Chain A
Amino acid sequence: MTATLTAPPARGDERLARQSAFSRLAGRPEIGALVGAVVIFILFFVVAPPFREAPSIATVLYQSSLYGIPAVGVALLMIGGEFDLSAGVAVISSSLVASMTAYQLSVNVWVGVLVSLVVALAIGLLNGYLLVRTKLPSFLVTLATFFMLTGLNLALTKLISGGVATKDISDIDGFASAQAIFAQSFDVGGVSLRITLLWWIVFVAIATWVLLKTHLGNWIFAVGGADASARAVGVPVKKVKIGLFMTVSFLCWFTGMHILFSFNTVQSGQGPGNEFLYIIAAVVGGCLLTGGYGSAVGAAIGAFIFGMTEQGIVLAGWEADWFKFFLGAMLLGATLLNVYVRRRAETRK
């Protein structure tokens, strides 16, 4: 069909009709989410007058960043063909470890922060190692970690702190500097923004660069798209998968640190349920649940949609329970769209 033995083509190829900017955009994985985000923004802009004010937008962005940071890792992992049900709980595990290490051992909070990082990465390593070693589906492996972590969070907190929450650590050495990194607020034109927003942008930018411009990105797409083929051409499939699980753990740890340093104490029962938000953000953002396709920007837009909806429903004076219904409807819509997009991508031209 396209194989001929003719002369080399001139610069550019006459068989390639110039694509308009619009049709090129329509081929991107995140386009569905972008359209959804615009529609939802307009909806709440119209029905909820308080939604139009700058502080509300700041709150929306803050809320979005809390979903968005772990969702970056979850999106990368999903492109790599796996998913992580333990992500939501791992966030809280990280804050609990940091908080209790610093409080119980009476050491600088940075020691707690680092111990927590090591523990978080170990959880990711365990997830990844079990997966590549046993070849079980990630659903089973991470479901197991999810329950184990949920139990550990509650039981160990009760055992060590004697309650369901950790002790306030705000007067321990190093708290101020840690708070400056993980949880400070700053003013832009009279609007108070949280630093997580900046971190979120940084993580999305790094993930996008890795995916599109580095060999690692190539490998991530390959292990998700066809791992046997990837292995056959020399891609270290197991290392890539383990690395992706550890990336998710790192970003969960980061979010956990934010929660710890903005509230000073942590409720040990929090977290379960959030893993689905991260996964749905990635799927709504155009990542294929089966792997091999998607983008970090898409997951960011997905998280932004949730941030907007969660705040918008409240600001519009509706019952907050509608949020859950909306989550489900959005997921269904996005999945159907994904099927369509994938078919298009496979039969383009």
Chain B
Amino acid sequence: MSLVQLTGVGKNYGNITALSGIDLEVGESEVTCVLGDNGAGKSTLIKIIAGLHQHSSGTYEVNGREVHFNSPREALDEGIATVYQDLAVVPLMPVWRNFFLGQEKRKGLGMDSAFMRKTAKQELLDMGIDLRDVEQPIGTLSGGERQCVAISRAVYFGAKVLILDEPTAALGVKQSGVVLRYILQARERGLGVIFITHNPHHAFPVGDRFLLLKRGRSLGYYRKDEISRDELTALMAGGAELEELSHELDRGGGGVAAAAAKMLEQESKELGITPGSTP
């Protein structure tokens, strides 16, 4: 049984259709990647799963039971935790305070600082982040490490499904690698992960399923054995659109533009795209 299953989900804002007919599922120890360009509807989709918005059509099931979340809190209570790209942490606060922020361990009127320090350090270590000092402001950590703290925090507080909103978008190659490793680690711990990204090179190595979005519609939903990395990249690059772009550049005239157009055409050939046919 899937932890999270969307069937034919759509979302309208007034007369604007932001999303329609989306199918998605993630089970235990699975990573489902959601790929799409800007404006493809990725954030609308996460907001529905995370409980910030309600879907207008289709069904949303958690553990086989249909749900309608009114707030992120309700989603969290079902074990669905979201780690947002920029909203993960408070930079000036120490790591351990960030780790427990919003869910502090109380002790009498105060809180159990010793327990929280120890737990934060141990939990991060379990995720493979060996910090020198959990007292250091989290702003002193690298971008990748900050994401990882946010991920391990969600895991510690009982997340069964992790939604990661473009965790690698602002990171360099090495840091992205670190984050991808934690995604796999979370999967090994039995979590379901929904990984939102626009980078097929990040998605392919860790994903079990791939949902491609374009202009609010599903462009395809594949299991790993049904699609190759190149096909995924080609789909993401927008197939026919790449061609169009090259024509556009060509028409723009000028030697440089023509050269760029040639390059694009070449690239789309290498990716195995023939106009009009998507795998």
Contacts and interface: CB of A to CB of B under 8 A. Distances in A.
B128 interface: yes
A21 interface: no
Interface residues of B, number: 42
Contacts of B131: 2
Interface stretch (B11-19, B99-107, B197-205, B227-235): B99-107
A225 B140 CA distance: 14
A222 B73 contact: no
Contacts of B111: 213-215, 218
B97 to A, nearest CB: 5
Contact of B101 (A6, A9, A235): A235
A228 B89 CA distance: 9
Interface in A170-199: none
Interface in B57-116: 72-73, 76, 82, 84, 86-93, 97, 100-104, 106, 109-111, 113
Contacts of B140: 346-349
B148 interface: yes
Interface in A191-243: 209, 213-215, 218-219, 221-222, 225-226, 228-235
Interface in A301-349: 342, 345-349
Contact of A346 (B97, B128, B137): B137
B125 interface: yes
B132 A225 contact: no
Interface in B119-170: 125, 128-133, 136-137, 139-142, 144-145, 148, 153
B178 interface: yes
Interface residues of A, number: 37
Dominant secondary structure of chain A at its interface with chain B: loop
Contacts of A13: 132-133
Contacts of B100: 218
B102 A234 contact: yes
A347 B136 CA distance: 9
Contact of B129 (A3, A228, A233, A347): A3
Nearest to A234: B102
27 contacts: A1-B145, A2-B132, A3-B130, A3-B144, A4-B128, A4-B130, A5-B128, A8-B125, A9-B130, A13-B132, A16-B132, A215-B106, A218-B93, A218-B104, A221-B90, A221-B97, A228-B86, A230-B90, A234-B73, A234-B76, A235-B101, A293-B92, A345-B92, A346-B91, A346-B140, A348-B140, A349-B136
Interface of B: 72-73, 76, 82, 84, 86-93, 97, 100-104, 106, 109-111, 113, 125, 128-133, 136-137, 139-142, 144-145, 148, 153, 178
Given A226-B87, A292-B93, 7 more contacts: A226-B89, A232-B72, A232-B84, A234-B102, A234-B103, A348-B136, A348-B137
